[in-house]
Structures are given as C-alpha cells and as structure tokens.
Structure 1
Amino acid sequence: MQRMPNAIQLTDLTHDDLVRLYTYPAEISAPFVRVNFVTSIDGAVSVDGRSGGLGTPADKTVFGLLRDLADVVLVGAGTARTENYGAARTDAGLRTRLHHHGFGGDAQGTPPRVAVVTASADLDPNSRLFTDTGARPIVLTSTEAATDRKQRLRDAGAEVIEAGEHTLGANDIREALGGLGLPRVLCEGGPGLFGEFIAAGAVDELCLTVSPLLVGGSAGRISHSPTGFPTPMRCRHLISASDGTLLTRWERLHGHE
C-alpha cells in the first residue's frame, strides 16, 4: 500500500531546495515528459475559460521553476490560443548553473523553446507566439497540413516539423523532440494533449497544483480522451503553502513496486 508523504511547508524551503525537489532525472536516454496543471478543489481546470484564474503565488513560483528546468515547453494549439502564449521567460543564471552541474539548463542561460502541437498548422503568424522575442518557437504538425499555412509559420520565424502524416500521437511528438535534442519536456496542456499522452503511456510525471478554490460551473478536467487508461502513480512530494495551495509531484510507477 502506498503512503502519502508528509506535507512539506513551503516557507521551510529555500529556492535551492525547490530546485532539488523538481530537478529532472540526471540520466535521460529518451524524452522525459513532465505534465504541469493547476486545478480547483472541485476539479475545475479553469475559471471563465482560462487556467490563470486558479493561479496563486505558490503555483506561479513552481510554474516558473518548472520552465527553468525544462528544455522545451510543449502545448496544444487550443491552449496556446486561449492562454495567448508567447516565448518562455526563465532565470538565465539558474539555467547556466543547472547546465554546469549536469542537470539540463543551458550554458548561455537561454530559455527553453516553446513547441505547439497542431496537426492542421492552424496558428496565427501574428500572435505572440511568433512576435514575442525569445527562443525560436517550434510547430509540430502533419504532412497533410496545408503547405501555405506551414510556409506562413516558417516566414514568421517558426521551426516547422512534420511529425505525423494525418494526426500527431504522443510517440510522434516524443520522437520529434528527441530528434531536436530536447529531452526534458514540460507539457502545459491542454486536456486533450494530456489525454493523448496518458493513452500512450507516455506521462512520466504530473506536477499538480490544487488551488484553494471551489469553482463549480462547467469547466472540464485536466485531461480527456475517448476512453480511460488508468495509470498507477506515486506521490513524490506534497508541499503546503500558507494560503492553502497544495503542490504535488507524481511519478509513474514502473512494474509492481
């Protein structure tokens, strides 16, 4: 029987403590997929259609740290549009230190790239994703997507990768990111993309923030897929903030442990 770890008080942790709690495995031979979501106590994934309404100071701290640790921020096209995604902003000094200690990061401290999944290449080349200054965005799309759409995104500065013929599965996405030398993957949604990774057995970790709110309404869950794929997970840590926010990190169980 699994036991939940005792809650750690956020106020007892230094920034370096948080880095150690969330650092990716030191040895990664294939893309390691970490998913990050925030939800309300009653399971809502958004307030008025956006996840930002669930954010708390503690969640924002971990959100930024997870980006600091990643090689690439992966997101579905719907979430990129709804949340008005731009370039990732990270701590250049921390990313340089992580690199020198062998935990990813970047020797020059440059931020992670943002990769958007869209089989149809249906993105606005004038959106923040392409006009915001930062690391060159990646568009993962299909060979079937309209050639003119893909060319417009290339002209806007994106690196367009054809990762599937008609649709893009989790393994297609992982292979494409691995081919780009981006093994530390941080998936920020949406629920459909998360569901696709669950169905493929390709979720290595879930970092889930529970915001101290009841929302009600018709907001959806953090994942959805046509059928269920139960995946045993184990809680690595549970951090409690003074405002009631709970920060959890779950890892996939391999075999019978």
Structure 2
Amino acid sequence: MHQVWPLPARPVEDDADLETLYRYPVDEDPGGSRRSWLAVNFVSSLDGGIEIEGRSRGLSTPADRRVFALGHDLADVVLLGSGTALAEAYPGLRPDAAAADRRRRHGLADVPPLAVVTSGSFPADATSIVDVAVPTIVVTAAAAPADQQAAWRDAGARVLIAGNEAVDLASAVRQLADDGYRRIDCEGGPGLVGTLLHADLVDEMRLTIAPLAVAGRAGRVATSADPLEAPRGFTVASLLVDDDGSLLIRYVREALE
C-alpha cells in the first residue's frame, strides 16, 4: 500500500502509519470546539455501486477491511441505521487481541457499543441488540411506541431519545458526545448518511473504491427524499493505493479543515 496524498508519496509500512491517518481528531478537552468527530465509512465499486445482492461484503477488499477495522477500533461508538443493522445482521464488536491493544494505546474503552438509529420498528431480538459484549444504544424519537422502548430495555439496550416525532440526529450526536462517545464511526446505511449530510453532521467521508464494476441498480453511499440545497464541500485529506488497485480516500468537510 502506498500513500499518494499528501505528498511526498511514500509506502505505508505498518498499521502505525494507518492509525495516524485514521484517528479521530477530537479535542482532548471535551469542551473544546471539536468535541466530537463523525466519520462515515463506505466501500463502493468503481461504477458507484455499494452492494452486491444487497450487501457490501462482496465489494470489500483486504485493504478496505484494514481501514474499516480502524474505523471502529479507534472509535468510541459505531453508529448505524436499523435497516443496515438488520440487512447485515450486525453483531456487537468483540475486539481481538490486536484491536484491544490498539484501543488501550489510544486510551479508549475496551469495547465500543453500537448505536442503532430507528423510528421505532427495530426488533428487540435483533442481532445488534442480543449478540453484543456491551449494551447497544438504541437512538429513537419520543414518539416511538412505549412498549417497543420497554422491549429494547428489557433486552439489555439503552434507549436514547433524540427528537419528538422523528429522530433528531444533531441532538443524538450531542448526547453521545456528552456521554463520552465523541469519536463516532458511522457504518451506514445510505438513508442515515443522507440524513447526516442534510444536518451537516459529517466531518469525514472514508471511501474505498474497489477495482470492480457491478452495473445494475446497486444503491449509492447517501440517499434522501430530496437533494441537498447546496452540495457539501469536502477536501482530500489522504489517498492510499493498494497493490490490488483499491483506492482508499479520506475526505474532510471543507469548513472543518
């Protein structure tokens, strides 16, 4: 793997180099200006598709899996939409020895929880709630049925109320930061990313472009009912090229550079 940007170009020798690139640049002081950092992780085909038969796994390359792992290894919490949690059967994270050592070196808790965003229909027996090492955070609105909220709690999850009729993601991110979950790794899906972009909550886009074409009607990284009023500007923070042709790009929100 080689770093192409920023210059000078150089080989990426080991995981320490990647950790430097993929760490979350939050302020050490929780009251500072960058009190949280939300990074979106996605893999895409070279023709813009994000799935093969409804799942991203078929697009992921070894290089993508390295940086994808860094996303949650260096995070305080993993944020995902309920549709993705169900489609991918997301279990809770269980860091192996290398990941646990990495987390300790960066002063992080042993295991980052999942934070699943749902309007209220997420089943209490979903893998993301019952197959976990630490309790999952269910992010929902106050309008979510009371019996469903009780079912989540009975299953061991913590319920975070953000918004009244619909989930207010800005409120959710603030509450997560208040609770110490300041490094936020968003692992999809497209609807959640689209909503985060509308709310201007995405600090960084981490995109792997796999050397594969899929055609068809594969989804895209971000979707929403309406386009953004104005495109969000991002700048390239780093670009890596793997020997297999994968491109690993970090885009940072222009206003945050």
TM-score, normalised via structure 1 length = 0.89
> Which structure 1 segments of 5+ residues have no match?
100-104
- Note if 1:111 corresponds to 2:116: no
The structural deviation recorded for 1:168 is: 1.2
| Residue equivalent to 2:65 | 60
Partner of 1:165: 164
Superposed CA RMSD: 1.9
Count residues in correspondence: 244
Deviations 1:25-63 (A, max 9, x none): 151633211111110000001111111111111111111
User: Quick one: which amino acid aligns to residue 151 of structure 1?
Assistant: A
Q: Compared with structure 1, are the counterparts of its residues 223 and 135 closer, same or farther at alpha carbon in structure 2 (3 Å cutoff)?
A: same
CA contact (8 A) 1:38 1:51 kept: yes
2:102 is aligned to: 94
Unaligned runs of 5+ in 2: none
- Residue matched to 1:236: 237
Q: Secondary structure at the match of 1:66?
A: helix
**Mapped pair 1:81 → 2:86:** yes
- What does residue 185 of structure 2 align with? 186
Maintained 8 Å contact 1:153/1:160: yes
Return the offset for 1:217: 0.8
Segments of 4+ moved more than 6 angstroms: none
Q: In 2 relative to 1, CA 86–8 (structure 1 residues): closer, same or farther, beyond 3 Å?
A: farther
Match of 2:43 in 1: 38
Q: Distance in 1 between matches of 2:221 and 2:255?
A: 23
| SS of equivalent residue, structure 1 residue 207 | strand
One-letter amino acid matched to 1:235: V
- Quote the Cα distance in structure 1 between the aligned partners of 2:87 and 2:145: 23
Contact 1:33/1:184 (<8 A) preserved: yes
Map of 1:246 onto structure 2: 247
Cα shift at 1:8: 5.4
- State how 1:19-34 maps to structure 2 within 5 Å: 19-27=19-27, 29=32, 30-34=35-39
Residues 26 and 182 of structure 2 are in contact (CA less than 8 Å); yes or no, is this contact kept in structure 1? no
Amino acid at match of 2:73: D
Amino acid at match of 2:214: V
* Paired AA for residue 24 in structure 1: Y
Code of the residue aligned with 1:220 in structure 2: it is G
